[in-house]
Amino acid sequence: MTKWEYLLLISKITVGGDEKPWIINGHGLRGWDKGPDLLDYINQLGDEGWELVTEYKEAVGVRGYWFKRPKS
């Protein structure tokens, strides 16, 4: 039976209107507003074996993304 691990990514819209990764599994990202764009970050997660499971709206300008991958 496959066992899974999960990752929760919370994104936030910057003042300039870009969507950026903000919180990963409950830990805030330093300098998040100057970090990579959301799409670049999601592509990096895909390269690490993470698969997007669902996306949801948390609040105005804030979204959540659940990912999963098989445990090694």
| CA–CA gap between residue 4 and residue 51 (Å, rounded) | 11
Which tokens in the block code for residue 38?
A: 């959301």
Q: What is the pLDDT at residue 7?
A: 98
Residue in this structure with the two tokens 């098989």, named with its chain if needed: 70
| CA–CA gap between residue 72 and residue 14 (Å, rounded) | 35
Instruction: Provide the pLDDT confidence category of residue 49 given band limits of 50, 70 and 90.
Output: very high
Give the pLDDT confidence of 6-45 residue by residue, as tens digits.
Answer: 999 999 999 999 999 999 999 999 999 999 999 999 999 9
Q: What is the pLDDT at residue 72?
A: 85
Which tokens in the block code for residue 36?
A: 């990579």
